[in-house]
A and B are shown apart, each in its own frame.
Chain A
């Protein structure tokens, strides 16, 4: 998230957590790959600031949603890999559910305006 808005911080933090967990569903990955995956996945709309990524990873590990180990990356370099734990999978499911609800709610309120090409 390129710009950090204090008032949205909590929501954004949650979103970053969710996206990190989502990325790890595809397989174990290290911080650099995760950041790249999120950036590419969002068509480079979102830029993950590493300053937030690593504290987020630390928080996820602290809560037991991911586990980590040292390994060797595709670039043949040492890297710390993260793996989704069953608890993390469960957390992702509930995060997604919450997000879906919120998106739906926002969608209902904003109506057609949100649709591509919708006019104000």
Chain B
């Protein structure tokens, strides 16, 4: 037995036959030599030789693999059996394919995002160090350079601690001047992460020295995109911030974390970070801390130690740590930070796809049961004619495995297509989305779960059904096989299907309702016909405020002069910008911050005068900004209604003053405007304080333009104006507010679509299950129905009986489903907007939909029952 022999057995057969013929020829020749007649010689030779056929068979068998032959025989047999019954094969493969496809696709997401380790050494030990204000609810405050020095110098929980921040700088030396997202890190940052360079070297401690030559490290993606993976990149020199930077290395592919940086530089190269004022000021929190825990140190230990250090800082610098804020340090594992936004959604989807698979399995079991009932005669005959039980088991299993493998192929195809779509979807929630792909594990998962599902749910029920054995050979037996036991099992399966799909439908219903709530949120401003684009001015070029003012004035006046433009404005951000707010505490005139009056956290917006008119934000009292609000005039602010109501309930805020808790500039309120959902439709309207652009100049501005026609068609003209003023000025993030809104709604929309899709598949499978089961039972009971009709039962009575029989498992399943849904949807609380997970209208609607669907699916079988002709049935009896 060998593979070589197996592959060459035809060749050997031919050879040996020739050889045997040669042998016979010799024997005959010898016999003739002894004086026999030709005929006698031939006869003797053949008698002596025996049967050449038998010999061929023996050699043929020597060249075969016994087990393989028998497996192939089983496969051929199973293939024939399935071909004889293509309906079963197609339904089973399709059901399994849908279930496996949904599961494998979602598993590829889970595998890529949650399971696959980060490309950092000992990922569990890498943490993000941040600060919060427990009393005001402010999170992610960051660290000031002094705080970072304190934590780094005093904490013994960390093996290494690094600082990090990200900025936009202009990179000169490529084809066009480019704004690049630059990660600014301490020399040990990559060593702390445990990352090895793809090319050249990464930073070392010496790069951080004040007089060290400026160096750059490129990210893999930027290297590929901008330089096509050119290996000669190391040593190239680029100009940034008026200094020459040499590229020393390239990073391997890493997730876009902490930010989607394109290049990295050491802190010594960042002019903002190296500003002596920045270094000295304990209240300017511009950096983030990252650290590697020492082996064996727990998160709690690190947390306790950092807060002890923070306590010492508060004692030493009471001015920077007002007691009322509840300042605290936090330590979060990087892995948790990368996945926390995506985890609940993905797990909910995994649960949903798991339910779809369970449903598919129930359907498979149901199909297998009815098929086996129909085949019980065949199995009984085979058993009776000497087939061993083991043979039958093997054959049923082979059939199931074949169905499962076909289902896995269909499922993997479905998963392959949907994984590509899921990457874009997951990218909104986690930087790890690029790791989502069909790798070996995913394929293994798909095939493995398919085979397990196939064997458990297609073969096992068949085996149980085939226990009927010889009784199936007589008429009564056939009826017995289909009635009592089998029907009860099938009813339980149907009830389970109903329960599972009810849970899914409720989940999908909740998501759809939440989506429609989101869609109907009035943002408080008008979205249509507004184009926004970001202008990050090169700060080395626009050093003085006058240069900035001059740029913005020219831009606004030229844009407004364009035909088709209604208004133009400059602001810090466009509404619904995903990058989030700039926030801080404010106090009103006369207040002193304390535990009882902790100020109020507000979000700031900086805007030019036309901003409010452009966005259609209503003015409720006073005025908005005008051209006469300048640096020389009084500092003014506009607040929105929630700020006004918080600080000045039942009185007009106009003329009152407010200031930032840690600032000394007072702003006089000159107007009140309507509330808007500035940073997200799913958030409560934000507390907003607006200040005029003229009085707080910014280098990173957003130009918004309201047009008469399609705003996107004007984008190139507007960009041309920017380039007329400054040919080196890049324009980024060109999009309409409508686009930003649909981007915000993208995640809930896809989640709702996916859940809806799963629910639709579930409902479909369940309807097939309900109607199939009832149809089979009616077919088996047609004799009984005929007899009852002959004895005088009315059609209405029969109809009621059949419907009763069909709907009973549905009601049972729905009762279970309601309980299951109440439990299962609890985890969805943070995924849905504007309703609770136990939303009664959703439950009622889904229940109604389900009842109607179930009734409709029972009707076919019920009609067939009432059309039974008693004469026909009695005649065949």
- Answer whether A80 and B19 are a contact pair too, CB < 8 Å, given A58-B12, A62-B62: yes
- Could you tell me if B23 and A31 are in contact, using CB atoms closer than 8 angstroms? yes
Convert A57-85 into 0s and 1s, putting 1 for each residue whose CB lies closer than 8 angstroms to a CB of B. 01100100000000001010111100000
Per the bound structure, the CA–CA distance linking A77 and B48 in Å amounts to 20
Which parts of A37-55 form the interface with B (CB within 8 Å)? 49-51, 54-55
Whether the Cβ atoms of B19 and A31 lie closer than 8 Å is yes
Query: Is the CB–CB distance between A73 and B59 below 8 Å?
Result: no
Checking A30, A31, A51, A80 against B50 with a beta-carbon cut-off of 8 angstroms, the contacting residue is A51
CB pair A54–B62 under 8 Å, yes or no, is: no
Residues in B whose Cβ lies below 8 Å from that of A75? 26, 29-30
Is B385 interfacial (CB-CB < 8 Å)? no
Tell me the complex Cα distance, A31–B49, Å. Answer: 12
Interface residues as binary, B826-858 with A (CB distance below 8 Å gives 1, 0 otherwise): 000000000000000000000000000000000
**Residues in chain A near residue B50, CB distance under 8 A:** 49-51
A55 adjacent to B51 (CB under 8 Å): no
The answer to whether A55 and B59 have CB atoms under 8 Å apart is yes
Taking a contact as CB atoms under 8 Å apart, the answer to whether B55 and A77 are in contact is: no
> Is residue B725 contacting chain A, with contact meaning CB distance below 8 A?
no
Interface residues of A in 14-37 (CB under 8 A from B): 30-32
Chain B residues 14-28 with CB under 8 Å of chain A are: 15-16, 18-20, 22-23, 25-27
Expressed in whole angstroms, the Cα–Cα distance for A58 and B20 within the complex equals 12
Do A51 and B54 contact each other (CB < 8 Å), given the known contacts A59-B62, A77-B29, A79-B26?
A: yes
A16 CB to nearest chain B CB (Å): 14
- Asked if B2 CB lies within 8 Å of chain A CBs, one says yes
Q: Is the CB of A50 within 8 A of B58?
A: no
What residues of B have a CB within 8 angstroms of the CB of A30 in the complex?
22-23, 26
Given A51-B50, A51-B55, A80-B15, the answer on whether A32 and B26 have CB atoms closer than 8 Å is yes
| B5 beta carbon closer than 8 Å to chain A | yes
Q: Please judge, given known A-B contacts A32-B23, A54-B20, A77-B26, whether A62 and B58 are in contact too, CB under 8 Å.
A: no
- Known contacts being A51-B50, A58-B12, is A77 close to B25, with CB within 8 Å? yes
Chain B nearest CB from A50 CB (Å) reads 5
A73 — nearest CB in chain B belongs to which residue? B26
**Cβ-defined contact, A54 with B26, below 8 A:** no
Known: A50-B50, A58-B62. A32 touches B15 (CB 8 A): no
Tell whether, in the assembled complex, residue B51 and residue A77 are in contact, meaning their CB atoms are under 8 Å apart: no
Bound-complex Cα distance A77 to B27 (A): 11
Shortest CB distance B13–A (Å): 10
CA distance A62 to B59 in the complex (A): 11
In the complex, the answer to whether A58 meets B49 with C-beta atoms within 8 Å is: no
Q: Which residue from A49, A50, A55, A79 sits with its C-beta under 8 Å from B62?
A: A55
CA distance A78 to B18 in the complex (A): 10
Q: Smallest Cβ distance from A112 to chain B, in angstroms?
A: 39
- With a cutoff of 8 Å between Cβ atoms, the chain A residues found around residue B48 in the complex are 50
Residues of B within 8 A of A73 (CB): 26
- Distance in Å: Cβ of A26 to nearest Cβ of chain B: 18
Query: CB within 8 Å of B: which residues of A?
Result: 30-32, 49-51, 54-55, 58-59, 62, 73, 75, 77-80
Closest A-B pairs by Cβ, 10 of them: A32-B26, A51-B50, A80-B19, A50-B49, A55-B58, A79-B22, A32-B23, A58-B59, A31-B23, A51-B55
Can you name 27 A-B residue pairings with CB atoms under 8 Å? A30-B23, A32-B22, A49-B50, A50-B20, A50-B23, A50-B48, A51-B49, A51-B50, A51-B51, A51-B54, A51-B58, A54-B20, A54-B23, A55-B58, A55-B62, A58-B59, A62-B2, A62-B62, A73-B26, A77-B22, A77-B25, A77-B29, A78-B22, A79-B19, A79-B23, A79-B26, A80-B15
Contacts A54-B19, A54-B20, A55-B59 known; 19 new A-B pairs at CB < 8 A: A30-B22, A31-B23, A32-B23, A50-B23, A51-B50, A51-B51, A51-B55, A54-B23, A54-B55, A54-B59, A58-B12, A58-B16, A62-B5, A75-B26, A75-B29, A75-B30, A77-B26, A77-B29, A79-B22
